[in-house]
Amino acid sequence: MEIILIPGFWLDASSWSDVTPLLEHAGHRVHALTLPGLESRDATRDGIGLRDHVEAVVEIVDESEEPVVLVGHSGGGAIAHAVADARPDRVARVVYVDSGPLGDGECINNELPGNAKEIPLPPWSEFGEDDLLDLDDGLREAFRARAVPQPTGVARDRQVLSDPRRYDVPATIIACEYSSGQLREWIVQGHEYVAELAALHDVEYIDLPTGHWPQFTKPTQLAKAILLAVDQI
């Protein structure tokens, strides 16, 4: 199976380095992506928006000879959902890692501090305790050393979706900060945060209790969870 790993904000392909070998060892072809503007701290980020990241992933999907599994961490989940909208017949499953599908007209995060071009990784004090669970001092230092400013347009642009067949694409939620029980409760309550998730027709949940970056804090468990999702195909 072709597995495409889409990183969250401030991260490139190397953020999956402790996860990718386990997926490959299981026999899968893995594409860990570095999205436009995240190539280096010196890369150009002017004018790069959410659609540029979506189209970069669509290009990889179109090059594949078979349907793919999209794995999106954090903001990468919004990108994965848009790719499923653009290519619903080419995506076998979307795996959301501490993330979920972003609905039409919504933005990933328009509150992160930055300028018109880029958003640097904020100080740790700006994150909640649940975000940072298991992210010890060494992991925080390594994360900040590798972090690349996020193109502002990716965070603030509105999601554009048009094909209702996206709701037919099977999905797996790897629940980290919020448990599957909490997510299900919010769906029952009609919470706006999970409205697009509630519209999906085929969703499975895997609980992986940790902070927002399981690829750093629990990479082996994350790889196993992804493999469980892939085994459902």
Radius of gyration of the chain (CA): 16
d(CA 100, CA 203): 11
Which tens digits make up the pLDDT trace of 141-187? 999 999 999 999 999 999 999 999 999 999 999 999 999 999 999 99
pLDDT above 70 covers a percentage of the chain that reads 100
Which residue shows structure tokens 């999209």? 70
- What's the CATH superfamily of 2-230? Alpha/Beta hydrolase fold, catalytic domain (3.40.50.1820)
pLDDT of residue 177: 96
Cβ–Cβ < 8 Å for 148, 40: yes
Which tens digits make up the pLDDT trace of 193-226? 999 999 999 999 999 999 999 999 999 999 999 9
Domain range summary for the chain, segments of one domain joined by +: 2-230
- Sequence-distant (6+) residues with CB within 8 A of 84 are 70, 91, 94, 166, 169
Two structure tokens written together for 107: 């933005």
Which tens digits make up the pLDDT trace of 71-93? 999 999 999 999 999 999 999 99
CA angle 121, 125, 129 (to 5 degrees): 105
Residue 233 pLDDT > 90: no
Phi–psi pair at 190, nearest 5 degrees: 75, 30
Which tens digits make up the pLDDT trace of 29-47? 999 999 999 999 999 999 9
Beta pairing, strands 68-73 & 91-97: parallel
pLDDT band at 70 (very low <50, low <70, confident <90, very high): very high
d(CA 170, CA 66): 16
Which tens digits make up the pLDDT trace of 101-119? 999 999 999 999 999 999 9
